[in-house]
Structure 1
Amino acid sequence: MKKILAHGQFILLAALLLIPALPVPEFWITLGNYIGLYAIVALGLVLLTGIGGLTSFGQAAFVGIGAYTSAYLSTTLAYSPWLGLIAGLCITIIAALAIGMITMRLSGHYLPLGTIAWGLSLFYLFGNAEFLGKYDGLNGIPAIHFFGFVLNSGRSMFVLIWLILILCMIAIQHLLQSRPGRAIRALKGGVVMAEAMGVNTFTVKLLIFVIAAMLASISGWLYAHLQRAVNPTPFGLNAGIEYLFMTVVGGAGQVWGALLGSALLTILKDKLQTILPALLGTEGNFEIIVFGVLLVLLLQYARDGVFPPLARFCRFFFKNWLPEKQTLIVNRQAAALPKRDKPAANILILEVDQACKQFGGLLAVNAVQFNVHAGQILGLIGPNGAGKSTMFNLISGVLPLTGGAIRFYSDHGLQNIAGLPSRDIVQRGIARSFQHVRLLSAMSVLENVAIGAHLRNKGNEVVDVINSIIRRDRKIEASLLAEASSQLERVGLAHLMHEEAGSLALGQQRILEIARALCCDPILLLLDEPAAGLRYQEKQELAALLKKLRAEGMSILLVEHDMDFVMNLTDHLVVMEFGTKIAEGEPQMIQQHPAVLEAYLGGVE
């Protein structure tokens, strides 16, 4: 019964397919068709903008590619509309890859400006291409034949539009509940965190850009054969802005928000086009002004869109009818993920050799040298500004070296890892936490930890996405979640695995980051100020955990300011000041070292 209720929303959508058989006004059917078409495009923007954090104003151009490709092939060459769909998707993929290779490298305000630029370029291409009919467009587009039925009316097209919409919504939900989906959601946590977990962020951005473009192209194909004529007007910048409006209004991070936003704005636009001319005259497009005002109000009072508060309202008043929020099921019998062989105790696993890092005229790290051995906890300490976090970023690949070398353990001996990106370094066996906790607060504790296993037993990115959409990834997904659950048990957070990560206390969040790093199956664990902000009891629990990991054979390199914590935990210490190593040795020796006392206390009499 619960399973049926969990899919109740899709059952309701499927029931909408029966509407054309009912004696409803033709206007309702037309409105429903446009809501469905817009929702398919908005669904791509939910993935791209709401979840991936990549703002695009140019999706209408991809709608135009799908519409014009099928229109041209079916009118000029008499091809089947279904061949037009395939051709439109192929052209869209090629165009999206070409555009995305440039656009997805942009960030900040340059990204939306870039999408406006290529959106306008394609719009003017449609209007100036002779073979596309210029601004008059193409007419006489044939109807779609679907299992022997000729879809030559709005009522008949309604079923196809909404059937495709339902399938697209299911596909996107399946994608988001998988390893590639967690990688997509990890983009919101920042490029540094995602790359440190092994996610190739550029590839992921390009993938979701292509998927969003494909959804827009499908909508364009449906639009062309619904209208039976196309011209450039619906594929301009205004349409691209409206699609983004729909996504934001509904709830940019919600799959159901795409449908809700499309319905709200389509109905509202229709009403405003009737009411505003009667009140203000027909000289201007006043609905655009109203849309702008409404969007400002929405961003002020409901920044996550209409869907989240609506969902809370429905759950409160219809809690006996709606299912509770579903939790991921962990299969303890799932096949174990492959694990790397750990080096024997006391084997040299990390060699920092005369490492230098210069920022302009500032020498942040100056010829620093130290080693880490297997099964050792080594502390990197020093006053603020000593260069400790910079050293961490050099080892983990966040920053490139200016000079020197960093060598890490491999089956073929120590190999230089300087210059490798973070995702390659974590694949070799170095995992890290962050000075300032970097979690996806809206995701569960279990899913946050599972991001750490992203590279384990991983295949081709495109194949993984397809397998997740059609649910062929269930075995590997079960293994990933079982591994995440196992690491949570290892660090003592198993009882919180289904809680939202943002609801945990700071100490628990830091432990969660360690569990996520352990999910990478590392040889060396880098911990950047893991005790910062923790209470005394939490520090004692953290120290006990790190000693337990050392006993299990884990090697740990940590940066920390709490001297009591460090002295009672580490086997060896390296002290830095102004980017230079000033001392190295066992904790007892470091406590008496004159240079260390000078750096911390200003000298002693």
Structure 2
Amino acid sequence: MKPRYLIAALVGVLAVAPLLLPPFHVTLLNYIGLYALVVLGLVLLTGVGGMTSFGQAAFVGLGAYTSAYLTTVQDLPGWLAWASVSPWLTLLVGLALTAAVALLLGALTLKLSGHYLPLGTIAWGLSLYYLFGTLDTLGGHTGVGGLPSISLLGWQLDKGEKIYYLIWAVLLLAMLLTQNLLDSREGRAIRALKGGQVMAESMGVNTFRAKLVVFLVSALFAALSGWLYAHTQRFVNPTPFGLHMGIDYLFMALIGGVASVWGALLGAGILTMLKQWLQDLLPHLLGSTGNYEVIVFGLIIILLMQRSPAGLWPILRRLAPESWKPRKQLAAPSAATPELPRRELPAHGETILEARHVTRRFGGLVANDDMSLEVHAGEILALIGPNGAGKSTLFNQLSGVDTPTSGDILFMGQRINGQSSRRIASLGMSRTFQHVKLLPEMTVLENVALGAHLRGGKGVLSAALRLDRAEEAELLAEARRQLERVGLGDHLYAEAGSLALGQQRILEIARALCADPCLLLLDEPAAGLRHKEKEALGVLLSRLRSEGMAILLVEHDMDFVMGLVDRVVVMEFGQRIAHGLPEQVQKDPAVLEAYLGGTE
């Protein structure tokens, strides 16, 4: 059975549920839909973006209280009076207010890392919760009642079985938009956040913008849920918007599958139903006093996290028949899918990259001392030296990850000291990493398409509404061409984490090539490759050189280096001790002593 038929069956079941179920169960389904909408934002924020937030319940409250205030207060200021006419207008105000608050809180919070980020979300979540309970205009802890029902095309949604359809229509639409967003250039940028910011920035991703986008989207989903909740209950007080509810939302995401769109629905459903069953069952078993369901629920959560830390949705996917699983396919490029514009490579022999007397100090340690080198168009330059020689430090300074203490680095004639990796990538420099940095659960094709991030321009709204399909086809077609170029054309739809280490290194080269660079920085690309794979890599690099590309290569395999490169720079203790043609360097006494084991 095709996945779309399963979705159609689910929609059909949801459509008839209020006609067959008693009101109590319809109410439970309403709560599941409202919770799932909030958890969907956490899937983006925590599961995909890698940022843990305990404050989502506060954004739910922001959406709920905005609508409650605007629809119940009699003497609104003139500039707000228009919004009291309809709950639909209060929704617009609520979303705008939530967006403003989210942008402010995100700008302050998302620069934190480690455990400071979730602690920061706890801080502002508690602040908003107590604000709701403190302001007399919001009813204090007593709350606000008498909210009007939502009217849709003249139909008053004043009962649970009526507003049920709106709740679930909004949820399913949000899930569709979220899936569209993830299956796009912007989505790959968001998913790259969990692969490491250094890698993402080197591919041209503005990581702070990506964090802010996903934080904003998750806040808007929460506010939308709060608006629906307020007009479902027709009453609002601070209790559902406290820290305990923020923790419940995280539990829902973890139970269902924190990185899965459908896991949001699964987790919200399981936790809501499980709580209800425990509240009904445990008093019969253990007596009517005490909150035993909280204890039992906590033990169940711990057991689940031990047995299935990725949640239940991945388990269901593994158990499902292959015919039920969605398959991503890319049609062969046609005349309607033009190639992306290519960068004009510099003339052969032109200086691409130049390091002038670069020194890098870390306190009293001098990692690089007066280092100079040049890389020219159409050549391969090898940077070699024993472990601890300072190669990686210099490599990071050349690529914008680090900044020299003194000296200058020029790329394409521009001084790039202190500029971001993203800015340097836009100038035409692309790199690989000593320790492979991939997104293992994404396909090989998607990983490589990340390298073409700067070659696209469609934004979040275009992605969510699938207005970016032409550009997306071009980006994926380019990624496929680069994979075929490096010999991985048979692995397009395999998960990147399933490849052997050597293949993953080749994948990184394909990703770097997808950025259309004029300079490649390769950090030990032959490590982990078998003999035949090294030969194929050497042929590829030689072909790139003949096309006019400049390549800076850090490598320990001397047989591979000396038979391939045009020039060699040798480092020891942060200094350049030799440079020249491979055959000259191999005979240099200082090199033999420092790197090749000394003279005989």
Normalised to the residue count of structure 1, the TM-score between the two structures is: 0.95
- Specify which of 350, 355, 360 is matched with residue 358 of structure 2: 355
Aligned to 1:578: 573
User: Does residue 457 in structure 1 map to residue 456 in structure 2?
Assistant: yes
Cα distance in 2 for partners of 1:283, 1:377 equals 76
Give the count of matched residue pairs.
590
Aligned to 1:440: 439
Aligned to 1:115: 121
Cα pair 1:330 1:485 within 8 Å, conserved: no
Cα pair 1:13 1:166 within 8 Å, conserved: no
Give the CA deviation at 1:172. 0.2
Cα distance in 2 for partners of 1:283, 1:370 equals 77
User: Does residue 548 in structure 1 map to residue 543 in structure 2?
Assistant: yes
Cα distance in 2 for partners of 1:16, 1:67 equals 29
1:351-385 alpha-carbon deviations (Å, 9 max, x no partner): 10011111121111111001111000000000000
Unmatched 5+ residue regions in structure 2? 75-83
Range moving further from structure 2, 227-236 or 14-23: 14-23
Name the Cα RMSD after superposition.
Answer: 1.4
Output aligned runs, 1:130-209, within 5 Å: 130-209=136-215
- Specify which of 382, 390, 393 is matched with residue 390 of structure 1: 393
Cα pair 2:350 2:376 within 8 Å, conserved: yes
User: Quick one: which amino acid aligns to residue 143 of structure 1?
Assistant: S
Cα distance in 1 for partners of 2:524, 2:584 equals 22
Cα pair 1:332 1:482 within 8 Å, conserved: no
User: Quick one: which amino acid aligns to residue 86 of structure 1?
Assistant: L
User: Quick one: which amino acid aligns to residue 393 of structure 2?
Assistant: T
362 and 283 in structure 1: CA distance in 2 versus 1, 3 angstrom threshold: farther
Q: Look up the SS of the partner of 2:509 in the other structure.
A: helix
170 and 439 in structure 1: CA distance in 2 versus 1, 3 angstrom threshold: same
Aligned to 2:369: 366
Give the CA deviation at 1:498. 1.4
Aligned to 2:338: 335
Aligned to 1:37: 34
User: Does residue 424 in structure 1 map to residue 426 in structure 2?
Assistant: no
User: Does residue 74 in structure 1 map to residue 71 in structure 2?
Assistant: yes
User: Does residue 19 in structure 1 map to residue 21 in structure 2?
Assistant: no
Cα distance in 2 for partners of 1:331, 1:172 equals 27
Cα pair 1:20 1:158 within 8 Å, conserved: no
Cα distance in 2 for partners of 1:405, 1:288 equals 61
Output aligned runs, 1:151-550, within 5 Å: 151-281=157-287, 283-315=289-321, 319=322, 322-323=324-325, 325-333=327-335, 334-409=337-412, 414-458=413-457, 464-550=459-545
Q: Look up the SS of the partner of 1:134 in the other structure.
A: coil
Normalised to the residue count of structure 2, the TM-score between the two structures is: 0.96
401 and 290 in structure 1: CA distance in 2 versus 1, 3 angstrom threshold: farther
Cα pair 2:339 2:478 within 8 Å, conserved: yes
1:4-54 alpha-carbon deviations (Å, 9 max, x no partner): x33234313321442355232111100100000000000000010011110
Cα distance in 2 for partners of 1:282, 1:465 equals 51
Q: Look up the SS of the partner of 2:353 in the other structure.
A: strand
Give the CA deviation at 1:602. 5.0
User: Quick one: which amino acid aligns to residue 546 of structure 2?
Assistant: A
User: Quick one: which amino acid aligns to residue 135 of structure 1?
Assistant: H
User: Does residue 603 in structure 1 map to residue 598 in structure 2?
Assistant: yes
Q: Percent identity?
A: 58
58 and 9 in structure 1: CA distance in 2 versus 1, 3 angstrom threshold: farther
Cα distance in 2 for partners of 1:281, 1:101 equals 49
Give the CA deviation at 1:506. 1.4
1:305-355 alpha-carbon deviations (Å, 9 max, x no partner): 00111122222xxx56x2553334453431221222110100111110011
Q: Look up the SS of the partner of 1:7 in the other structure.
A: helix
Cα distance in 1 for partners of 2:240, 2:326 equals 40
330 and 58 in structure 1: CA distance in 2 versus 1, 3 angstrom threshold: farther
Cα pair 2:185 2:450 within 8 Å, conserved: yes
Cα pair 1:485 1:497 within 8 Å, conserved: yes
Cα distance in 1 for partners of 2:245, 2:13 equals 26
Give the CA deviation at 1:489. 1.6
Q: Look up the SS of the partner of 2:141 in the other structure.
A: helix
Cα pair 1:20 1:156 within 8 Å, conserved: no
Cα pair 1:10 1:166 within 8 Å, conserved: no
Give the CA deviation at 1:542. 1.2
Output aligned runs, 1:30-69, within 5 Å: 30-69=27-66
User: Quick one: which amino acid aligns to residue 238 of structure 1?
Assistant: H
Cα distance in 2 for partners of 1:325, 1:87 equals 40
Q: Look up the SS of the partner of 1:136 in the other structure.
A: coil
Cα pair 1:20 1:155 within 8 Å, conserved: no
Range moving further from structure 2, 520-529 or 290-299: 290-299
Cα distance in 1 for partners of 2:210, 2:133 equals 33
1:223-281 alpha-carbon deviations (Å, 9 max, x no partner): 00000000000000000000000001000010000000000000001111122334444
Range moving further from structure 2, 273-282 or 240-249: 273-282
Cα distance in 2 for partners of 1:375, 1:603 equals 33
Q: Look up the SS of the partner of 2:348 in the other structure.
A: coil
Cα pair 2:185 2:456 within 8 Å, conserved: no
